[in-house]
Amino acid sequence: MTTTIRYDRGADGIVTLTLDDPDQSANTMNRAYAASMSAVLDRLEAERDDVTGVIVTSAKSTFFAGGDLPEMIRATREDAPALAELLGTIKRDLRRLETLGRPVVAAVNGSALGGGLEIALACHHRIALGAPGSRLGLPEVTLGLLPGAGGVTRTVRMLGLAGALTTVLLTGRRMRPTDALAAGIVDEVVATPTELLDRARAWIAANPRPRQPWDRPDYRMPGGIPASRSLAAQLPAFPATLRKQLKGARLPAPEAILATAVEGAQVDLETALTVETRHLIGLLTGQVAKNMIGAFFFDLKAVNGGAARPSVDVPPVRRVAVLGAGMMGAGIAYVCASAGIDVVVRDVTAEAAGRAREHAERLLARKVRKGRATEADARAVLDRITTTDQVDALAGCDAVIEAVFEDPALKKAVFAEVLPVLAPDALIASNTSTLPITGLAAGVDRPADFIGMHFFSPVDRMPLLEIVVGEQTGDAALARAFDLGRRIGKTPIVVNDGRGFFTSRVIGRFIDEAVGMVAEGVPAASVEQAALQAGYPTGPLALADEVSLTLIQRIRRQFEAASEEFLPLPAHRLVDELVDAYERPGRAAGRGFYSYDDGTRGRLWSGLADLATDAGRAVPFTDLQERMLFAEALDALRCLDEGVLRTETDANIGSIFGIGFPAWTGGVIRYVRQYAGGPAGFAARAAELADRYGDRFTPPADLVDRLAARPAEPAGVA
Ligand code: NAI
């Protein structure tokens, strides 16, 4: 088997272990690593008398990437014994390393995530190179896993139960080296690779016989060992974190992490390590981890890697014109300027335009306060934002992103006004959330350069960009929009045109279904709770308030005016009554489904039940959840059939990152494929919902065959 760790003993007796898997671009905790580490420990133990210390470092740009995800995603129940043995070997060897009786220092030269950080945690001292882009953390929870190479066991012993759970284990936070230092995960941060090794040697010289804190006789766990062995008794200690992490849903990974941490805290280290293995195997052989690894690793890699980008050479965008300094325009200006791109924001008055700058100032001030940016960085970003009410100020911009009100006539007018002053080959983009791109492009004389760039609110935080290709959009425009999206740090899915594209259309079904249930008479609180427990990050009624009921109403009327197939739903009646009769248009007005005082969400409005056709109607809880999930999934399937969606990967990524489809599913189409009984089981359940609740749930006739004919993407892993 390939050797992935080099062993070099210097004249001073210091052994440098260099992690360097020759077969991969990054080191991972695969079988070759396990075998190499065992061989290294055999040798270290044999040569111990000549060894003064050990430095663990890496020859790759990242220190160590983590677990062997392709192997994990394939793991079945039959593989459990072999996996347990492999994990046992990996942990035993890290234990041999920390009890060697010689100082062991991790010289973390780049990112150390998951397994990489776990190796470092088994060292007596951790020094991180403060390289830009370098991140440390245990992100396993975000893949439906837990850190199973000693990560839970050692962080709990280093930081205490509450500290470990809230700073690293349940958040999965990827920390900058300085943040890792503050969190107590590393001991030193240095500026240069030379310093990294010098400090490691110096520490070894000064600490000839170190022991891990937990191997000292006087060791006490920070915060103390909890008195009770019961998991439930520990829960009150972490309600806030758990609530945030679980969002009401009972997700297997956070629960397993909590159980591992609490059980492990009661027993000795060796036993705790086996507890960890048992819980990790449970997660590895379950479906949720496979869904999440599929989406959050493989799908994300395919999308960000440019699977949908045409391979044409295009010039990078240098200066962007943003039209409209509202919520979206200001956000777009900020993310562009933050990525080093010059931005000119235009609105109807200088004062309105100036709001884009104020928005950036607010976000930058917060970053500076939190130590995430220096005053100089902030100033440089602000200097890239110009605001104006003059069209001429946009002269020479080589891209325009329009974000004025959602009104096709207004959008056409602003394009007509500004295009003459832009660079002659400028990229022309609209941030419309629903209007078909082909129709908007008909109003400009270069429709090949016209494209949809649909951002999500708040722009600086939402990772998705939905790029919408109109009938006449050319490859060069798509490539430029894609490159711009990547430069500003977004994950760009590419979809074909249609009213509402993919995301706005599908999230509309979710809101309609939820509001419809309230209109039928299901208690509003039950609808919200059902969604949260299904794993949606926000309840649909809170979301509707956020979007604003007036906007929902306006979009529906545009659909109707375009006389596309549209069903009159009970939801529409309820929205109309709330807006028109009860003046409850949503959050911005302080009143919608909820009431808002001083901007914070209060209670659901008590008048809702009176507007329902059958107040207090009892619908099984599973039906409440599945009506929402299926409404979205069925419409996503239609988007695939109609060609709005080009790939399942885009659907999965877009649904999780853009519209909050529950992450444990691994995305909306994976949900269909993995439903109990597979696509056939999904179709049968949809037919049942159609019988009970209406034709909109009728599954596509040949759903099973069609999904079978279409290989799951990316090939081989999903
Ligand atoms: P907004 O109402 O906050 O801002 C619109 C801005 O456009 C206002 O500042 C207005 O003064 C300005 N404006 C109007 N006429 C103008 C003109 N002739 N020239 C320059 N500026 C002009 O609206 P918001 O929410 O930022 O939405 C803008 C666009 O983004 C809409 O098309 C919307 O559908 C879309 N969108 C909205 C999302 C959201 O969550 N609000 C999400 C994604 C897209």
Residue 204 pLDDT exceeds 70? yes
Residue 70 is predicted with a pLDDT of 87
- 584 lies in some domain: yes
Residues 440 and 575 in one domain: no
Both tokens of 305, joined, read 């890697």
Domain that holds residue 560: 503-643+647-709
Buried b (16+ CB within 10 A) or exposed e, 385-404: bbbbeebebbeebbbbbbbb
Residue 718 is predicted with a pLDDT of 39
Instruction: Determine which helix (DSSP H) or strand (DSSP E) holds 56, and give its type and residue range.
Output: strand 53-58
Residue 18 is predicted with a pLDDT of 98
Distance CA 472, CA 450 (A): 8
Q: What is the ipTM of this complex?
A: 0.98
Indicate which residue of 98, 118, 513, 632 is catalytic. Answer: 118
Residue 612 backbone phi and psi in degrees, to 5 = -90, 155
Residue 562 pLDDT exceeds 70? yes
Residues 557 and 663 in one domain: yes
Q: With contact defined as beta carbons under 8 Å apart, do 452 and 467 qualify?
A: yes
Q: With contact defined as beta carbons under 8 Å apart, do 137 and 121 qualify?
A: no
- 360 lies in some domain: yes
Both tokens of 572, joined, read 């529409």
- How many folded domains does the chain comprise? 3
Residue 716 is predicted with a pLDDT of 39
Residue 599 is predicted with a pLDDT of 79
Contacts for 660 with CB less than 8 Å, ≥ 6 apart? 507, 536, 537, 538, 543
Contacts for 91 with CB less than 8 Å, ≥ 6 apart? 149, 150, 273, 276, 277
Nearest alpha-carbon partner for 125 in 196, 221, 30, 39: 196
| Pocket probe mutation, ligand 1, options 328, 490, 543, max atoms within 8 Å of Cβ | 328
Q: Residue 181 is which amino acid?
A: L
For 498, other C-beta atoms within 10 Å of its C-beta total: 20
Q: With contact defined as beta carbons under 8 Å apart, do 174 and 96 qualify?
A: no
Query: 715 falls in which pLDDT band (50, 70, 90)?
Result: very low
Ligand 1 centroid distance, CA of 387 (Å): 15
The CATH number linked to 163 is 3.90.226.10
Residues 603 and 458 in one domain: no
pLDDT tens digits, 501-519: 999 999 999 999 999 999 9
Distance CA 668, CA 632 (A): 7
Q: Which of 291, 307, 336 is the last residue of a domain?
A: 291
Rg of the chain's alpha carbons, rounded to an integer?
Answer: 28
Ligand 1 centroid distance, CA of 407 (Å): 9
pLDDT tens digits, 508-557: 999 999 999 999 999 999 999 999 999 999 999 999 999 999 999 988 88
Q: What mean pLDDT is predicted for residues 680-685?
A: 96
Residues 63 and 190 in one domain: yes
Ligand 1 pocket by Cβ (under 6 Å): 323-329, 346-348, 352, 403-406, 410, 414, 431-433, 454-457
Percent of the chain with pLDDT over 70: 95
Residue 235 is predicted with a pLDDT of 56
Atom 31 (ligand 1) nearest CA: 406
Residue 164 pLDDT exceeds 70? yes
Query: 66 falls in which pLDDT band (50, 70, 90)?
Result: confident
Q: Residue 332 is which amino acid?
A: I
Q: What mean pLDDT is predicted for residues 649-665?
A: 96
Atom 3 (ligand 1) nearest CA: 326
- 305 lies in some domain: no
Ligand 1 centroid distance, CA of 327 (Å): 7
Residue 156 pLDDT exceeds 60? yes
The pTM for the full model equals 0.92
Atom 28 (ligand 1) nearest CA: 403
Nearest alpha-carbon partner for 133 in 61, 44, 31, 209: 61
Both tokens of 23, joined, read 């077969």
Residues 228 and 334 in one domain: no
Residue 262 pLDDT exceeds 80? yes
Residues 162 and 239 in one domain: yes
Residues 458 and 589 in one domain: no
Residues 154 and 273 in one domain: yes
Of ligand 1's listed atoms, the one at least distance from the Cα of 414 is 18
Residue 717 is predicted with a pLDDT of 45
Q: With contact defined as beta carbons under 8 Å apart, do 345 and 329 qualify?
A: yes
Q: Which of 247, 274, 291 is the last residue of a domain?
A: 291
Both tokens of 421, joined, read 């002053």
- 660 lies in some domain: yes
Q: With contact defined as beta carbons under 8 Å apart, do 12 and 200 qualify?
A: no
Of ligand 1's listed atoms, the one at least distance from the Cα of 328 is 26
Residues 352 and 427 in one domain: yes
Indicate which residue of 45, 78, 140, 513 is catalytic. Answer: 140
Q: Is 140 a catalytic residue?
A: yes
Q: Which residue has the higher pLDDT, 294 or 228?
A: 294
| Pocket probe mutation, ligand 1, options 433, 453, 454, 503, max atoms within 8 Å of Cβ | 433
Ligand 1 centroid distance, CA of 350 (Å): 16
Distance CA 171, CA 169 (A): 6
Please report the DSSP string for 146-212 in residue order.
--TTTHHHHHHHHHHHHHHIIIIITT---B-HHHHHHHTS-SEEESSHHHHHHHHHHHHHH-SS---
Ligand 1 centroid distance, CA of 329 (Å): 7
Helix and strand numbers, DSSP H then E, in the chain: 29, 20
Residues 590 and 696 in one domain: yes
pLDDT tens digits, 450-486: 999 999 999 999 999 999 999 999 999 999 999 999 9
Of ligand 1's listed atoms, the one at least distance from the Cα of 406 is 32
- 351 lies in some domain: yes
- 354 lies in some domain: yes
Residues 191 and 245 in one domain: yes
- 302 lies in some domain: no
Q: Is 713 a catalytic residue?
A: no
Residue 9 backbone phi and psi in degrees, to 5 = -105, 125
The CATH number linked to 638 is 1.10.1040.50
Ligand 1 centroid distance, CA of 432 (Å): 9
Distance CA 459, CA 327 (A): 9
Ligand 1 centroid distance, CA of 403 (Å): 4
Atom 29 (ligand 1) nearest CA: 403
pLDDT tens digits, 114-135: 999 999 999 999 999 999 899 9
* DSSP collapsed to 3 states, 512-544: HHHHHHHHHCCCHHHHHHHHHHHCCCCCHHHHH
Residue 210 backbone phi and psi in degrees, to 5 = -75, 155
Average pLDDT, the chain: 93
Of ligand 1's listed atoms, the one at least distance from the Cα of 355 is 9
- 303 lies in some domain: no
Residues 523 and 377 in one domain: no
